[in-house]
Amino acid sequence: MRTGQSHHFDLGPACLPDVLRQDMRGPDVADLASGLFEDMKSVLRCETGKVMFCPGSGSVAWEAALTNTLNRGDKVLIARHGQVSSRWVEMAQRLGLDVEVIDAAWGAGVPVEEIDARLGKDCRDEIKAVFVTHNDPATGVTSNVAELRRVLDGNFHDALLFVDGTSSIGALDFRTEAWEADLVVTGSEGLMLPSGLGILGVSEKALEASRTANMRRACFDFGDMLKMNADGLLPCAPPIHLLHGLRISLDRIAAEGLDNVIARHKHLAEGVRRGISAWGLSLVAEHHALYSNTVSAIRVPDDVDARDVLRIANDAYNTVFGSGQGPLAGKVFRIGHQGDLNEAMCLTALSIAEMSLYRAGAPLQLGAGVGAAQSWFAGAASGQPTFRIAAE
């Protein structure tokens, strides 16, 4: 029998506000969905194109994006540098696409220079799409999508640009229209909701491609979806609770202001990172420009098993952190800091992580990480006043 409040600091779902859990009733579904299609554009920062919802996870939305815009046998270029992009490679191969992979180390960003060189050699525009991850949750790496767009334009290449924003949209600076991203994928788990609703941003260029795409699809056909979306409906039974929840999430983002939301995540993430540095530990992300403001993937000392840290946090403190994935299993644990989050919650996460690391055998000074984060939050580290969270 456990007592006291449990804490969840994994990445996805992002921390839920109490008002979202309490208010799961609202207007008719058609009116509800119609407003969501439009308001989601503000978070994606796009005015043209369409927003579509796919009941299911972000992976379901990814499959819909591929099957609606590409033809079997099309060549696609995928930058593989983490768990998400590794899953894309497998999905694209299973769907019958001709997949060309450019690998980078886990902890590196999208290999823009290598992509530039490859596109420069594609004189016949055989590559029909380029896939990138904006923010990789397994490594805590945020890549520069704007630079990739410049590479595509610099090579006068017409490939569709697919971008995964599952762990970034609504928390990091994501600019669908400015980057001319053609297929943008996110999910409810990144928008302060449980998993179960895939969200697609689809450009006019991608919609045009969908009119001739010949891959098999059934539930999620863009043509069917657009017809039903016009009446505020989805092509299959909608997850009503998630639509109501998304309404509240989008309202909260609008009330705080998207720029303020982005600034808050940056501020909180920096506090977490200063705590990690005070422990003498490093992040998986190779350098500062790649640091994610929604998740920190932390390397444990060589003689410590990260799975022990996770077990102690769960057993002793009712707390869940993210585990290391793929080649990082046992070497890394992750602190998610995305969603309805404030300084006190980040300090709680650091305190529990610190105790768990210490009990797992990590040579750190108790209080060091929490103290470093407190100094940042209090303004001592930056010389600036404490960041102000927007009022409710």
Coil, helix or strand at residue 106: strand
Give, as one character, the DSSP assignment of residue 327. G
Q: What is the DSSP string of 55-68?
A: ES-HHHHHHHHHHH
Sign of the CA dihedral running 149, 57, 16, 347:
negative
Q: How many CB atoms lie within 10 A of CB 4?
A: 7
- Pair type for strands 183-187 and 141-142: unpaired
- The tokens describing 222, both together, are 């863009």
Residue by residue, DSSP assigns 251-308 as HHHHHH-HHHHHHHHHHHHHHHHHHHHHTT-EESSSSGGGB-SSEEEEEPPTTS-HHH
Cis peptide bond upstream of 239, omega within 30: no
Would you say 334 is a known binding-site residue? yes
Any idea which residue has 């696409």 for tokens? 97
List the beta strands (DSSP E) in the chain.
Answer: 7-8, 50-55, 75-80, 98-103, 127-133, 135-136, 141-142, 160-164, 183-187, 197-202, 282-283, 295-299, 319-320, 322-323, 332-336
Amino acid letter, 364: L
CA gap 161, 77 in Å, rounded: 10
Judge residue 115's burial from the number of C-beta atoms within 10 Å of its C-beta, 0-12 exposed, 13-18 middle, 19 or more buried: buried
Of residues 357, 347, 348, the one with CA closest to residue 299: 357
Which residues are documented as binding site for substrate? Answer: 334
Which residues are documented as binding site? Answer: 334
